[in-house]
Amino acid sequence: MLKKRIAVLVSGGGTNLQALIDAQKDGRLTSGEIVLVISNRSKAYALERARQNGIDAVFVSKKEAGSLEGFDRAICAVLDEYRIDLVILAGFLTITGEYFPVRYRDRIINIHPALIPAFCGKGFYGLHVHEAALEYGVKLTGATVHFVNEIPDGGAIILQKAIPVLDDDTPETLQQRVMRECEWQLLPQAAELFCAGRLKIEGRHVKILPESEHVMEENQ
C-alpha cells in the first residue's frame, strides 16, 4: 500500500515531531511518511530537527501573510504542493482562520496536553494548560489527540491517555510527564491509525477499526 504523505506543523522545540520521527525509524509508524515540516516561527528548533532527518522544513510567516485567511492560504499552498494526506499539529501554537481546517477537513489532527474537554480552547496551550490543571486541583490529567475543526480543540476525539497528578507536581514536572507518558505515545499511534485507514469518523465519535475489519472493507 502506498504510504500516506504526512506534514507536521510546529512552533517550538518539536519533541512531538521527534516522537513521530522516532516512531517512523523503529517501525511503529509504517503506513505514513513525514515529508514536510512547517513552522510559523523561523527559529523553531523543530525546523532543525526536520533538516537533521532529511525532511523538508518550511517557515510560513503569519506577519507576511497579512491576515488570518492569508496565513491559512499560505499554509495550504505548501501542503497542496507536497500533496499531503495527513496534517499533524504537533505543538503548533498559533491560531489559524477557518479556511485551513475547512480545506483540509478530516485530514488534520492535533495533540493537546490535557483531557479534553478540560483545560482546552483559546488561551490553553503549552505550560498554561498544566498551570490551570494544577490550580484547579484535578487528580488526573493527560493528553488528547483529536481531529481539528473550526473550533479550537473542538473536533472529534481519537485517543486519550490519563496519568495521576502528584502532590508535589509543578507545571514543569507535570508537562514533562504528560509529554513522556502520554503525548509521545499517543501521537505516533494516532498517525499510524489514520494512515492505515483505521479511523472512522461518525459525527463526534471516532471508531478505531480492527486491522482485520479494515482489510476486509478494503477488499470488498
Give me the residues that bind ligand GAR (CB under 6 A), please.
10, 12-16, 46, 90-91, 93, 111-113, 125-126, 129, 179, 183
Smallest distance, ligand GAR to C-beta of residue 125, A: 4
**Catalytic residue status for 130:** no
Total H helices, total E strands in the chain:
9, 9
- Helices (DSSP H) in 57-200: which residue ranges? 62-65, 68-81, 99-103, 127-136, 171-178, 184-195
By beta-carbon proximity to ligand GAR, the closer residue of 72 and 183 is 183
User: Which three three-digit cell numbers place residue 204?
Assistant: 463526534
By beta-carbon proximity to ligand GAR, the closer residue of 166 and 216 is 166
Smallest distance, ligand GAR to C-beta of residue 16, A: 3
Smallest distance, ligand GAR to C-beta of residue 91, A: 3
Calpha distance 120→26 (Å, rounded): 32
Q: Out of 112, 130, 146, 205, which one is annotated catalytic?
A: 112
Strands (E), the chain: 4-10, 32-39, 56-59, 86-89, 108-112, 140-147, 157-164, 199-202, 205-208
By beta-carbon proximity to ligand GAR, the closer residue of 66 and 115 is 115
Any idea which residues carry the catalytic annotation? Answer: 112
